[in-house]
Amino acid sequence: MKYLHIVSVILLIVGGLNWLLYAFGWNLVNMLFGTIPSLEQVVYVLVGLAAIYEVATHKGNCRACGSQM
């Protein structure tokens, strides 16, 4: 489960950075995978699934949140 947590955090960072760049008119995922729309969609789905996973398991994985809640 530790590796799944690490992968989901990385995907959330990528998604967050993409949203930041999108606010300034750049879509990094589209720039990288725009020529392959299905691959671009897969990236968005993986980022969304990572967010759902983190919402569901964050309390158990996070030492700071798990001990205080």
Q: 8, 56 in Cβ contact below 8 A? A: no
Domain edges within the chain: 2-68
Per-residue pLDDT tens over the stretch 5-61: 888 889 999 899 999 999 999 988 898 888 899 998 999 999 999 999 888 887 777
pLDDT at 67 over 70: no
pTM: 0.75
pLDDT at residue 65 in the model: 65
